[in-house]
Amino acid sequence: MKKSVTDQADGLRRLMLSSPGRLVSVVGSDPVSVASVTSNLAAALVQQGKEVLLLDEHDGAQAVQVDREQRLVLINAVLDKEGALSRLAAQADNIVVVLRANAASIKESYACIKRLHYAHALQRLHVLVNGVADAVEAQRILANLVHTGNRYLGLAVESAGWVRADPLFAQAQRLNLTVVEAFQASPAATDFRQIASNLLEWPLLAAGGRPPSRPPGTIASQNANFRMEMR
């Protein structure tokens, strides 16, 4: 990713230009999985000819206000203890919650979705399933989350797609590359390119439609029963 994604410090300086672009915040309960998804999406978008800035809040990338160029800004976002995004990440045009295909991750991800909804009054977000066995499993998980988000939160949970489990992830990591860069014909790389292509067509959150985060301690205490069976 050294050559394909703009250096963070340089990127933050260049973000002060004024032409519009798209900012996507990626979150989840598993930081390793979120980091992998974010970097692979960035690599896939670069392969499709897009200018991409990748910011990792886990590494201390900080900004509170940006004017987007005609580029894609991907943020590996950090949530605070109440599940709220940083001031930068809260400006996102799209928010993606990443989860793994297991019961614990699904439950934790629903809790993350609920906290994001209450912290930012979100009306829509996307969910991506990472490391899934096949499309059938992914579609079942996504359908459950879509139904639950709509029924209990009045929230439009939309599919961002899924990435198949792929042993070449480990080999790419040893090479210090994304799987998209190292093994372009692999199942996971194919999935990431499809998601990246679809991402460009996602509707943006309405301008001015992202209210500021609520002060700490004010997130609603409403609870929704949630049960996800892994069959």
What pLDDT, on a 0 to 100 scale, did the predictor assign at position 6?
Answer: 53
What pLDDT, on a 0 to 100 scale, did the predictor assign at position 68?
Answer: 66
What pLDDT, on a 0 to 100 scale, did the predictor assign at position 222?
Answer: 35
> What is the CB neighbour count within 10 angstroms for residue 2?
7
Instruction: Provide the mean pLDDT of the chain.
Output: 84
The string of pLDDT tens digits covering residues 125-149 is: 999 999 999 999 999 999 999 999 9
Q: Which residues contact 162 (CB under 8 A, 6 or more apart)?
A: 128, 129, 130, 132, 135, 138, 142, 191
> What is the CB neighbour count within 10 angstroms for residue 140?
17
> What is the CB neighbour count within 10 angstroms for residue 216?
11
Domain ranges of the chain: 8-199
What pLDDT, on a 0 to 100 scale, did the predictor assign at position 50?
Answer: 93
The CA-atom distances, in angstroms, between 161 and each of 67, 138, 209 are 28, 8, 25
Bigger pLDDT: 40 vs 16: 40
What pLDDT, on a 0 to 100 scale, did the predictor assign at position 60?
Answer: 78
- In the sheet with 124-132, reading across from the earlier edge strand, the strands are 52-56, 72-76, 22-28, 94-100, 124-132, 156-164
What pLDDT, on a 0 to 100 scale, did the predictor assign at position 231?
Answer: 39
CB contact at 8 A, 75 and 55: yes
In this predicted structure, the answer to whether residue 75 has a pLDDT above a threshold of 60 is yes
pTM over 0.75: yes
Confidence of residue 218 (pLDDT cuts 50, 70, 90): very low
- Which CATH architecture describes the domain 8-199? 3-Layer(aba) Sandwich (3.40)
Confidence of residue 151 (pLDDT cuts 50, 70, 90): very high
Bigger pLDDT: 132 vs 6: 132
